[in-house]
Each structure stands twice: as C-alpha cells, then as structure tokens.
Structure 1
Amino acid sequence: MVKVFALILFFITVLHAVNDQEILKRADSFLKSSSKSNQFRAYNDYKNLYLRALLNGDKKLKHSALKGIISSGHKLHIDVKRYEQEYKHLSPASRKNYKAKKTLKSHLHIN
C-alpha cells in the first residue's frame, strides 16, 4: 500500500513539473516508437493530458489528448470507442477530419 501511494505521489510530482506541451511532445514521440512499452507510455500520457484538459476546460488540449488516446489505443488494441465518440462531437472540423481518416483507413485496411 505504501509503495502504491509513493508511486502515485511520484507521478503527480513529475506531471506537475512538466507542462502540458512537453508531455504532449513526449507522448507523440513515444507513440512513434515500435516498442509496445513506449506506446503504452504514450497512451498513459494522453490519458493524463485528457484528465487535465477536463479539469482545466482546455478544449485544444482535450482535442490533442483524445486524438492521441485513439491512435495509441488502436496500436495497443485497446477499446477506445468512447473516446472516438467524444472526439467526433468536439467540432465540425474535427468530425470531418475524423471521418475522412476513418474512411481512408477502412479502404486501405490499416489498423
């Protein structure tokens, strides 16, 4: 129990020390990696950014985080349907871009 608490405290401290854009850059670089552990790190970073965006009401960060959650979730075979639904409802531009990419992926059979 103490180890879990210390680990949570460590992650909170690390996240507060780094600003959102740095975390986003780090997550983007992790996502491009072929390593599953780095892709999982990216997924976790995107989820943390998503929670921050919700707490701070930051729509731009929320958009970026949702996009990352969906991308990394697909690579890791994680069910991200809920996040896809939320992403589609963010803005008309996002919705149009999302549909175009999904259509292209289905025609090319890309996962």
Structure 2
Amino acid sequence: MASAVELLRGVESEIHPLSRADLIRAVDDANDPVSLGVALMRLGASAPVEFDEEIHEVISGQFYSEYDVVRDMAVWAATYAPYGQYRPDLEELCENDESEKIRNRARAVLPIFTRIEGGAG
C-alpha cells in the first residue's frame, strides 16, 4: 500500500503545481488588470498560514492600483491568508478608496483581520 508521501508525489507529478516564485512572477508579468487580479488571487490562495512578507508586500501593494478591479481582487486575495499585517491598509481602503465598492469590500473583510490580530477564532 502506498504511503501518503508517495501518493502526494504522484499527485504533484500529475498536476504540476506552480512554485511560489512562479506565482509571484505571474503577478509581475500580468499585462492587463484582469490577468493581474487573477494572478493575485492565485498567489493569495497559495500563501502559507505563517506570515510571508514577500506575498504580503505583493498583494498589499496592489491595494493602491489605479484599477478598481485589481484593488478589489487584491482585497479578496488577502483573505486567503489573512495576515494581521493587512489591517492598516484595509482600514485605509475603508476610509479613503475612491470606489464605494472597494470601500464596502474592505469593510466586509476587515473583521476577519481584526479577529486574527486579536487572537480570537
């Protein structure tokens, strides 16, 4: 009977998962707002539970994109690994983003980050 590690290796060889570097490069290489947003979502979904400074910087840097769709998707991407470090930027978006949709999205997700910072689950 195959061990869990052997099964995981078999799955990995079949699905060809992207590395962290590949996911960050996809953000850097995106050539339109929607592609950038999708790349951010993939990066967020791949983020480890433990704080990752580079992933945080890449995602939070897009909170200030000139494109509403990118800012919106960056907020969603942050929720996949809700590091408390996102909180100050999200508070800024709640108060000052030019788009009501983004302000409302940031308000909707901010409690997640407040709970994380406060240690409550």
How high is the TM-score relative to the length of structure 2? 0.43
Higher relative contact order (CA 8 A, sep 6+): 2
- The structure that is helix-richer by fraction is 1
Mark the structure with the bigger radius of gyration. 2
Question: Could you tell me the TM-score, scaled by structure 1's length?
Answer: 0.46
